[in-house]
Amino acid sequence: MAQPFRTRSGGRIDRARPVRFFFDGVAYQGQAGDTLASALLANGVHLVGRSYKYHRPRGILTAGPEEPNALLGIDRGAGRFAPNIRATEVMLTEGLTARSQNNWPSLGLDLGAVNSLFSRFYSAGFYYKTFMGPKSAGPKLWHRLFEPVVRHAAGLGAAPAGADPDRYAAFFAHCDVLVVGAGPAGLAAALAAASSGASVVLCDEQDEPGGSLLAETAATIDGTPAAEWLAATLQALAALPNVRLMPRTQAFGYYAQNLIGLNERVTDPLGTVDGNAPRERLWQVRAGEVVLTTGAIERPLVFPGNDRPGVMLAEAARTYLNRYGVTVGSRIVLATVHDSAYRAALDLKAAGVDVPLIVDVRARPAGPLVEAARAAGITIETQTTVIGTKGGKRVRAVGLARCVDGAFVAPHWAACDALLVCGGWTPSVHLHSQSRGKLVFDEDCQAYVPGDSVQRERSAGACRGHFGLATALREGGEAGVEAAARAGFAGGKAPRLAVGGTHPERGGYIGALPHPEEATDKAFVDFQNDVCETDIRQAVREGMRSIEHVKRYTTTGMATDQGKTSNLNALAIAARDLGKSIPEVGLTTFRQPYTPVTFGVFAGASRGDLFDPVRQTPIHGWAAENGAAFEDVGLWKRAWYFPKGGEDMHAAVARECRQTRASAGIFDASTLGKIEVVGPDAAKFMEKLYTNPWAKLEPGRCRYGLMLNEAGFVMDDGVIARLAEDRFHVTTTTGGAPRVLNHMEDYLQTEFPDLRVWLTSTTEQWAVIAVQGPKARDIVAPLVAGFDIAHEAMPHMSIREGTVCGVPARVMRVSFTGELGYEINVPADYGRAVWEAVWAEGRRYDAVAYGTEAMHVMRAEKGYIIVGQETDGTVTPDDLGLNWAIGKAKKDFVGKRSLIRPDMVAAGRKQLVGLVTANPATVLEEGAQITTTATPAAGTTALGHVTSSYDSPALGRSIALALVADGRKRKGETLHVPMPGGAIAVTVVDPVFFDPRGDRLDV
Amino acid sequence: MSDRSSSTLHRRSPFAGLALPGGEGLALIPAPEATRLILRGDPATVAAFGLPVPERLKATTTGARAALWLGPDETLLLAPGEDAAALQSVSISGPHSLVDVSHRQTGLVLTGRLAALCLSSGCPLDLRLTAFPVGMATRTLFHKAEIILWRQAEERFHIEVWRSFAPYLAGHLAEACAGTTGL
Amino acid sequence: MLLIRCPYCEMDRPELEFRYGGEAHVARPLDPMATTDEDWASYLYVRANPRGLHAERWRHIHGCGRFFNALRDTVSDRIMTTYKAGTPRPAATGGGR
Amino acid sequence: MKYSALSVFLQGLKGNRDWPEQWRSPEPKSTYDAIIIGAGGHGLATAYYMAKEHGLTRIAVLEKGWLGGGNPGRNTTIVRSNYLWEESEAIYEHAMKLREGLSHDLNYNVMYSPRGVMMLAHNIHDVQVFKRHVHANRLAGIDNEWLTPEEAKAFCPLLNIEKNIRYPVIGASLQRRGGTARHDAVAWGYARGASRLGVDIIQNCEVKGIRRDATGAVCGVETTKGVIATKRIGVVAAGNTSVVMAMAGVRMPLESYPLQALVSEPVKPMMPCVVMSNTVHAYMSQSDKGELVIGAGTDAYTSYSQTGGLHIARHTLDAICELFPPVRRLRMLRNWGGIVDVTPDRSPIIGKTPVPGLFVNCGWGTGGFKATPGSGHVFAHLVARGEPEAIAAPFTLDRFRTGRLIDEAAAAAVAH
């Protein structure tokens, strides 16, 4: 197999199963079990990307989610492209196609690289200081000239195009103990917690659980090699019914009250695009107790030229060797301040790689690992720092010098094709911090470690700053027992595990390594955002004293890795120049998510018709079959108009209006809100909640009800029927139904709890069929039984209970059109059938079915308001001329007191009036403003605005309703409606345009 | 004429013509037609319907009839196959409110190994048997729809939902079922 | 998403089932018409909005439907206790978790 | 040192070692002519204009954290002035005009990008509301125009204008001068400008009390850095206003709500403008760095915790994915929260208080960043002269007594 850097044996990859993949169009081969990163390295590919600002060549730095450089575009087919994916997190699958980013024309030859020649002019915050152009240019120069350039240069990967065809799923889940991270500590914690009988979830971000054990070759647990113990332990856990093991599952966010967000990758790692299976799943886990065993992240060293391809974290190189059977170079030098790098050196050496040199910045590194390295014949240069590197697209040599009291002596170059670095280990405290747990700085490991917990969580092992396999297993077990006990499951047992073959490891350093001031090359802190040591020092010089300022000014730690490898180094560099200790300078907040999480998985199934409910009335089907156009009203679909034979909306609406007034129209009013108010104190309650008087309303009669909020503004209205002394059938606006019920319950429960009355929503109990028009009675009469609907027996604004088509019904004689009308309420399941019966009856009189638009026109002809159209939350009953609806004798009702506030009774309030245009064919635009002059200067105060405007078939001209300052006093006045094409003259008239005496209702 | 005023029409359920999820692990079927009454006031009055008074967050049954505790002063009566008018004529002492909601909402029975998991796609409650035992009933949320959830057996839930939300509920359960692939 | 103990259901329930109702114990004047504009404005609009313990109304709108009160630390969002509407504000004790 | 391409060039040659401090970090003096509480954008702008236009230089701005660390650094950088009521139009347009010359005025590139703010209409009510805005704005001389779905798509190609989707786009209003500005730059630019004019910006200095003399007038503040005497105090503490005003015994018609925002990983340009939808509850733009900047609505309950709830992020992102299907595969990089102080009518309070010498500027809700220059400018006048100028006059505390509300929420149904 053509994988020059693949070892002959070892590793956890499946050597029997080759996998073909493509990188920048070139075909390569890897093995099953590889990540994209390990497969590229096996093929000797280190150069995988170009940096953000300077377009410097970049290679793979890490083997995990902290990777700042190896961000690639992954193309899984149409609509399935995703940018900025870490090669270290992508499982290699057959035919995988990856593209490098941020380069042109190619990764090898990137013209953007000229930027690095001018890098000195792109120092921290340079864009705040220039790109402004001459004052005369205003913001144009930036927006038109500079910004497009900046925008094109910025942004990492290409944007996806086309809709994502994949499915995403989301679930809530609950468990007694959640363990985050299936390394040795996590495995021990899960075993211990499970032994108590508690339900345990153990999640791990990687494809394979095991954490550091996956790259462990020397250590033994319980006398068996770590790998064997791992296999046995995973089997044991899988066999436990109360344990759920979730690989490929990232715990990305720790929220209030132990709610943790988990992101499970499902199809991508399998390389399949199953028709059914989701690409990813979101798990919203509410955990009784949480154990964090998230390990630690190795820190790079900051020195000139530390970003060349081939410069890699030491433990990452060890992982590629031991887990993936890949050597990251043929001549490898290590630079370290921590013992763990020696482990990597020894394993590489043992694998036959040429490891001539370990550079240790420390004066006297000691311990078994150091001895072993010496014994293995590796030269160790102590008290030595890195002053530079050479190489174009791959490191060629590393520049070294001894530090002797501030001086750099005996500089020399050491040839290598890989430089492994280790600055020590940074505990992954992200989730602990997100849970609002405190952080304390640990001088010993030069990093922040968890302090006191605020939520029910504890950390164990490396993420707590306590390193070593034995420690991890012991602390994990103890944490598991403790967590289970606190979750109510005592008696858990921590596994007792003897560990062999490991050695204590010490060290750690943060900040930039000592190097000559006049270093020729840049020392990078944040690789992805191209933030250098000099940028951070400049920010401090410019007065940025808070680490938040430094971060924002330099953008360090703000890249897609959120500073996992860079934050501490940046902090130390700033602290040094500020002359403060690390804790004094503070720490930037750890925000969700831990690593980037796909938008789609947050949205889950909530898309299309499942995004919001699509509410349909029982009669919807009939309307659809009869060609209705629908409009959205809240969540409801309402029949808008019923076009016949190629009619446009205007023609259809005109016909519906004319025919309704000529004969009859039938309208689906089912969406109207309905509330049954029942109890001995029902009338008393209504008196409080509505402006109108109710005490004297007789059973069997209806009344128009007006509801205010406590601020005195109109909130809702509707016809209210009294069915009995103790029972009201209340109707509300379609959109207002839930709001009104909540408003009523609020006052009933919290202000008037002594009233013996109860509320029940009946909105969907009843299908409502409105029959309006001179022929309404003729149409309804044959269908009803149990009551007399004659004019005298059932006057306008009354209600009767009986049957319609044999179905129990409530029939109200009411009108929203100005015509004789009935609203038939029947149980919803019968709605369609009764509608069809009414329709059949209506056909005998050429009745039409009409929609919401015709309804709007006809009610406007009568000057009836629509709450939400004539009102906007700032309108009082008097503004609308509805004072007649206020019970004058009432001592109190919700909103009454507010109506007498000074500005509620002041002159100049906007009042509802009608408007007619000089030209009857001119239909005003709703929302248009109204002025006294035809040519208002900019800034002229408007008198008001047009609230409703239609072409009225009944009047054969356009009509409009409007709110106009002192409108009622202005009747007869000519005002103006300024439009782009010039003002339209209008005359103020009464808002009731049609049948002002209401004769048509009295038949 | 009168024939038209007394013609007996057939009910049309909101699920008419709707494909409901069914298969290995999950089945959703409409519950039989029933009379549903919301009784508000003193819960003790459910005794008038021959039903034991349900404890907080519980349901009680007598034959096919059931009483579900919805709140301290709100109980849902379910009477499959019974006539609403007849049931409402039951005499009850003391102030109360009895309202027919037989058509406001509709009933569904969700069964199968994946029932609880699929509900968990949109219901934030802890549906483990220890937290939501058989016999528990409560109003809650399923995605953006309000539902009443009554566990009748470990893998059997009775769900009540307002009729216009029924297709949304069914759609999300079907989607959730697909989302469990591999679980 | 918070967990809130409903004092009527006597059970911790997810925040999604609840609706926030603003500051608690803001009583509507018994005779609103007798109040001054200042007092009425204060009832309508002025709120304590404390940074710390806050007595507030919630409604278990997608549960039992009842309004009740909670004592919450507005800095940590930790709910110290919940209690039925109409009962006085308790001392800030009791486990919030 | 004046910032310019030349200075960037010359400093670059010298290895950027000689850049001066952008602002001083002095210790507080014992007394000041005026003290501004809160070094957010509004507070810093107030101090800047007090020094620049009213000749007051013995001013201190006190900040309990670090300057610009509150909402200036947490908002979604959207700027616009297409509000409904003329009082609102006046002050937001005032801010817009000042912003157009701000980079030069401050010699600091605030990156004001008039890329257009588009509001989508999904139903007839939206159309009525937005057209009312368009007409009102035109009368006020503020640009705002109506677009058909096709015109909207042409302006923002990412838009999905198919008719058969859950919430089809049936029209949109567009303010072309609306857009974005670099939030940190606004705060830092004002800080640098004010500091150069002699204003002391004192960070990590929390106000613990407000002192009043026998007449009840303010005479000083107690801080974590000691007592500082002054006869004039301007409170510009945004989400913490209620807390600070309580120190002077003044109760406010305010509630503080968390407001969340999030960004995606940076990608090449895909979103040319700002798009908002109130029906779908989402708004989005793309930063110059390439991140999609996405805003959520305010949380349901008052809180001073600046952390986000998972369900809020979910609700925001399902809306964004519904509106812009191609973003579904992008990934959330960062999610954070700010605190906004909200008044009952969703309009700010800029005015005197019952306490002589104490002035307040608050209640900007989600409009704070849009108004920053104008807000600072008129508040500087109020604190310096003791009387509001015309633009600020309507935004009194007293309007809640008289009922003369400026209700943007009720009228506009525009959340952001």
Region D323-349: mean pLDDT is: 94
* Nearest residue to A925 via CA among A905, A898, A947: A947
Q: Is some CB atom of chain B closer than 8 A to the CB atom of A266?
A: yes
Q: Give start and end residues of each alpha helix (H) in D210-367.
A: 241-246, 310-323
Q: Is A500 exposed, middle or buried (0-12, 13-18, 19+ CB in 10 A)?
A: middle
Percent helix, strand, coil in chain D (nearest 5)?
A: 35, 25, 40
CA–CA separation, D399 and A903 (whole Å): 9
**Are the beta carbons of A750 and C61 separated by less than 8 Å?**
no
Q: Is A81 exposed, middle or buried (0-12, 13-18, 19+ CB in 10 A)?
A: buried
Annotate C41-54 with b (16+ C-beta within 10 A) or e (fewer): bbbbbbbbbbbeeb
For A797, residues 6+ apart whose C-beta sits below 8 A from its C-beta are A701, A702, A703, A719, A813, A814
CA distance B93 to chain C (A): 24
Amino acid at D78: I
Tokens read off for A561: 């890795």
Per-residue pLDDT at D411:
55
**Contact present, D354 and D250 (Cβ < 8 Å):** yes
Would the pLDDT of A518 be above 80? Answer: no
**Are the beta carbons of A749 and C97 separated by less than 8 Å?**
no
Domains of chain A by residue range: 14-112, 169-296+427-491, 300-420, 523-597, 672-762, 907-1003
CA–CA separation, D188 and D194 (whole Å): 10
Tokens read off for B4: 């038209």
Query: Where do we find the tokens 């060609």?
Result: A627
* Confidence class for position C95, pLDDT limits 50, 70, 90: very low
Nearest to C67 among A259, A710, A750 (CB): A750
* Confidence class for position D413, pLDDT limits 50, 70, 90: very low
Rounded to two decimals, the ipTM of the complex is 0.96
Please give the interface size between A and C, counted as residue pairs whose CB atoms are below 8 Å apart: 56
Would the pLDDT of C11 be above 50? Answer: yes
Per-residue pLDDT at C94:
45
**Contact present, A953 and A658 (Cβ < 8 Å):** yes
Q: Is some CB atom of chain A closer than 8 A to the CB atom of C31?
A: yes
Tokens read off for B95: 């102030």
What is the maximum span of chain C, computed from C-alpha positions, in angstroms? Answer: 43
Nearest to C47 among D240, D253, D401 (CB): D253
Q: Is some CB atom of chain C closer than 8 A to the CB atom of A351?
A: no
Using a CB-CB cut-off of 8 Å, the residues of chain C touching D70 are: none
**Are the beta carbons of C32 and A454 separated by less than 8 Å?**
no
Using a CB-CB cut-off of 8 Å, the residues of chain A touching B38 are: 760
Amino acid at A414: A
Gyration radius from chain D CA atoms: 21
In this complex, the chains that touch B, judged by 3 or more CB pairs closer than 8 A, are: A, C
Per-residue pLDDT at B90:
92
Q: Give start and end residues of each alpha helix (H) in A323-396.
A: 340-350, 368-375
| CATH number of this structure's domain A169-296+427-491 | 3.50.50.60
pLDDT digits (tens, 9 = 90+) for A354-377: 999 999 999 999 999 999 999 999
**Are the beta carbons of A605 and B121 separated by less than 8 Å?**
yes
CATH class of A14-112: alpha beta
Q: Is some CB atom of chain C closer than 8 A to the CB atom of A455?
A: yes
Which of B127, B139, B147, B162 has the most C C-beta neighbours within 10 Å, making it the best mutation to test the interface with C?
A: B139
pTM: 0.96
Region A92-98: mean pLDDT is: 97
Please give the interface size between A and D, counted as residue pairs whose CB atoms are below 8 Å apart: 326
pLDDT digits (tens, 9 = 90+) for A876-892: 999 999 999 999 999 99
- Please compute, for residue B107, the number of CA atoms within 13 A of its CA located in the half-sphere on the CB side: 19
Average pLDDT, chain A: 96
Which of D126, D186, D271, D321 has the most A C-beta neighbours within 10 Å, making it the best mutation to test the interface with A?
A: D321
**Are the beta carbons of B104 and A765 separated by less than 8 Å?**
yes
Tokens read off for C45: 């609009």
**Are the beta carbons of B141 and C66 separated by less than 8 Å?**
no
CA–CA separation, D235 and A502 (whole Å): 61
pLDDT digits (tens, 9 = 90+) for A427-441: 999 999 999 999 999
Between D69 and A243, whose confidence is greater?
A243
pLDDT digits (tens, 9 = 90+) for A788-816: 999 999 999 999 999 999 999 999 999 99
| CATH number of this structure's domain A907-1003 | 2.40.30.110
Using a CB-CB cut-off of 8 Å, the residues of chain B touching C1 are: 124
Annotate D51-62 with b (16+ C-beta within 10 A) or e (fewer): bbeeebbebbbb
Region A214-219: mean pLDDT is: 94
Q: Which residue of B has its CA nearest to A676?
A: B99
Using a CB-CB cut-off of 8 Å, the residues of chain D touching C42 are: 251
**Are the beta carbons of D302 and C74 separated by less than 8 Å?**
yes
**Are the beta carbons of B1 and A616 separated by less than 8 Å?**
no
CA distance D14 to chain A (A): 9
CA distance C94 to chain B (A): 22
For the four alpha carbons of A944, A950, A955 and A958, in that order, the dihedral sign comes to: positive
**Are the beta carbons of A837 and B181 separated by less than 8 Å?**
no
What whole-number percentage of chain A has pLDDT above 90?
91
In this complex, the chains that touch C, judged by 3 or more CB pairs closer than 8 A, are: A, B, D
* Nearest residue to A511 via CA among A337, A358, A357: A337
Using a CB-CB cut-off of 8 Å, the residues of chain C touching B120 are: none
CA–CA separation, A253 and A237 (whole Å): 25
Amino acid at A514: P
Q: Which of A265-279, A614-628, A632-646, C62-76 has the lowest mean pLDDT?
A: A265-279
* Confidence class for position B1, pLDDT limits 50, 70, 90: very low
Using a CB-CB cut-off of 8 Å, the residues of chain C touching B143 are: none
Equal CATH topology for A169-296+427-491 and A907-1003? no
pLDDT digits (tens, 9 = 90+) for A939-958: 899 999 999 999 999 999 99
CA distance A292 to chain B (A): 22
* Nearest residue to A340 via CA among A370, A312, A380, A307: A370
Query: Where do we find the tokens 């702008």?
Result: D45
CA–CA separation, D188 and A545 (whole Å): 13
For the four alpha carbons of A237, A240, A242 and A244, in that order, the dihedral sign comes to: positive
**Are the beta carbons of A803 and B176 separated by less than 8 Å?**
no
For A586, residues 6+ apart whose C-beta sits below 8 A from its C-beta are A546, A547, A548
pLDDT digits (tens, 9 = 90+) for A857-876: 999 999 999 999 999 999 99
CA–CA separation, C34 and C23 (whole Å): 23
**Contact present, D298 and D257 (Cβ < 8 Å):** yes
CA distance C60 to chain B (A): 9
**Are the beta carbons of B71 and C16 separated by less than 8 Å?**
no
Per-residue pLDDT at A273:
73
**Are the beta carbons of C62 and B139 separated by less than 8 Å?**
yes
**Are the beta carbons of B5 and A806 separated by less than 8 Å?**
yes
Cis peptide before A827 (omega within 30 of 0): no
**Are the beta carbons of D330 and A593 separated by less than 8 Å?**
no
**Are the beta carbons of D322 and A603 separated by less than 8 Å?**
yes
Q: Are strands D200-202 and D59-62 parallel, antiparallel or unpaired?
A: parallel
Using a CB-CB cut-off of 8 Å, the residues of chain A touching C37 are: 901-902
What whole-number percentage of chain C has pLDDT above 70?
94
pLDDT digits (tens, 9 = 90+) for D118-160: 999 999 999 999 999 999 999 999 999 999 999 999 999 999 9
For helices D368-385 and D86-100, angle between their N-to-C axes, nearest 10 degrees: 90
What is the maximum span of chain A, computed from C-alpha positions, in angstroms? Answer: 116
CA–CA separation, B74 and A758 (whole Å): 9
**Are the beta carbons of B73 and A758 separated by less than 8 Å?**
yes
Using a CB-CB cut-off of 8 Å, the residues of chain C touching D256 are: 49, 51, 74
CA–CA separation, D337 and D314 (whole Å): 14
pLDDT digits (tens, 9 = 90+) for A918-939: 999 999 999 999 999 999 998 8
Using a CB-CB cut-off of 8 Å, the residues of chain C touching B56 are: 8-10
* Confidence class for position A588, pLDDT limits 50, 70, 90: confident
**Contact present, B161 and C85 (Cβ < 8 Å):** no
Q: Is some CB atom of chain C closer than 8 A to the CB atom of A846?
A: no
Tokens read off for D3: 């910032």
pLDDT digits (tens, 9 = 90+) for B133-150: 999 999 999 999 999 999
**Are the beta carbons of A158 and D268 separated by less than 8 Å?**
yes
pLDDT digits (tens, 9 = 90+) for A695-705: 999 999 999 99
Nearest to D325 among A118, A164, A633 (CB): A164
Would the pLDDT of B51 be above 50? Answer: yes
Using a CB-CB cut-off of 8 Å, the residues of chain D touching C75 are: 303-305
CATH topology of domain A523-597: Arc Repressor Mutant, subunit A (1.10.10)
**Contact present, A612 and B172 (Cβ < 8 Å):** no
Quote the DSSP letter at residue B134: T
| CATH number of this structure's domain A672-762 | 3.30.70.1400
Interface of C with A in 32-51 (CB under 8 A): 32-33, 35, 37, 40-41, 44
Average pLDDT, chain D: 94
- The secondary element (H helix, E strand) that includes residue A147 is helix A147-153
Gyration radius from chain B CA atoms: 17
Per-residue pLDDT at A137:
80
Query: Was domain A300-420 assigned CATH 3.50.50.60?
Result: yes
Using a CB-CB cut-off of 8 Å, the residues of chain B touching A837 are: 4, 7, 9
pLDDT digits (tens, 9 = 90+) for A411-429: 999 999 999 999 999 999 9
**Are the beta carbons of A618 and B14 separated by less than 8 Å?**
yes
Q: Which residue of A has its CA nearest to D204?
A: A546
Per-residue pLDDT at B5:
82
pLDDT digits (tens, 9 = 90+) for D386-412: 999 999 999 999 999 999 999 987 654
**Are the beta carbons of C75 and D304 separated by less than 8 Å?**
yes
Q: Is some CB atom of chain C closer than 8 A to the CB atom of A486?
A: no
